[in-house]
Amino acid sequence: MTRLLIIGPPGSGKGTQAEQIARHFSIPAVSTGDIFRTNVSQQTPLGKEASKYLDDGAYVPDHLTNALVKERLLDPDVQGGFLLDGYPRTALQVAELDDMLASLGHRLDAVIELRAPDAELERRMLQRAKEQGRKDDTVDVFRRRLDLYHRETHELVAVYARRGLVVSVDGSGEPGVITELAIAAVVKFLTT
């Protein structure tokens, strides 16, 4: 049973890496971003509320995100492990995740931190916007998301580092190479 979390700035390749790393460990990748986008496209009540925040590059409020993740962590396919992508993003969400996992008798095994320079992140975002046509990928929205990451989410790395859970990986370069580095780092971390 492997329970992982991946953290990194927008454009760092979290989604791509989460899928590959999760596949390697035979666990589901749980992406709040994908869940939000699905709800927005399907015009669900949560999606309508979430779109107000996503379109402006803001975070969806903790109470909505927490409820979504809590429900997902009760699904049978995640009982043997998971890789969380996009959650937690705030100190309050860290506390909520701790409570959720403790209530299930679980804990996180490792936190993967992807690092990359801001200029590379912006280049990737512009490329993704061109390829996928995502309306939330504009320079202004990206810069707001990056600023939010630096002001709020990055502090979570320090929280998990104090717990001895962080595995830092250079997120620059080719995705396949990054995947290999991340898997090797996590395997080494989990076996030492």
Contact 40, 46 (CB under 8 A): no
Please compute the mean of the pLDDT values over residues 34-39 and round it to a whole number. 76
In angstroms, the CA 140 to CA 188 distance is 39
Residue 142 predicted with pLDDT over 90 = no
Mention every residue, 6+ apart, whose C-beta is less than 8 A from residue 88.
Answer: 5, 94, 96, 97, 156
Query: Structural domains in the chain?
Result: 2-187 (3.40.50.300)
Confidence bin at 190 (pLDDT 50/70/90): very high
pLDDT for residue 11 is more than 70 = yes
Q: Across the chain, what does the average pLDDT equal?
A: 89
- With cut-offs at 50, 70 and 90, classify the pLDDT of residue 186: very high
Annotation says 188 is catalytic = no
14 is catalytic: yes
Euclidean distance between CA atoms 75 and 89, whole angstroms:
22
| % of residues, the chain, pLDDT over 90 | 51
Q: What does the alpha-carbon distance between residue 56 and residue 38 come to, in Å, rounded to a whole number?
A: 17
In this predicted structure, what is the pLDDT of residue 69? 85
Q: Does the structure show a pLDDT above 70 at 136?
A: no
Catalytic residue among 23, 70, 115, 128: 128
Residue 74 in this model has a pLDDT that exceeds 90: no
Total-model pTM: 0.85
Residue 148 is predicted with a pLDDT of 85
- Which of 3, 72, 89, 124 is flagged as catalytic? 89
Is 89 an annotated catalytic residue? Answer: yes
What is the edge-to-edge ordering of all strands in the sheet holding 81-85?
Answer: 29-31, 81-85, 2-7, 110-115, 166-170
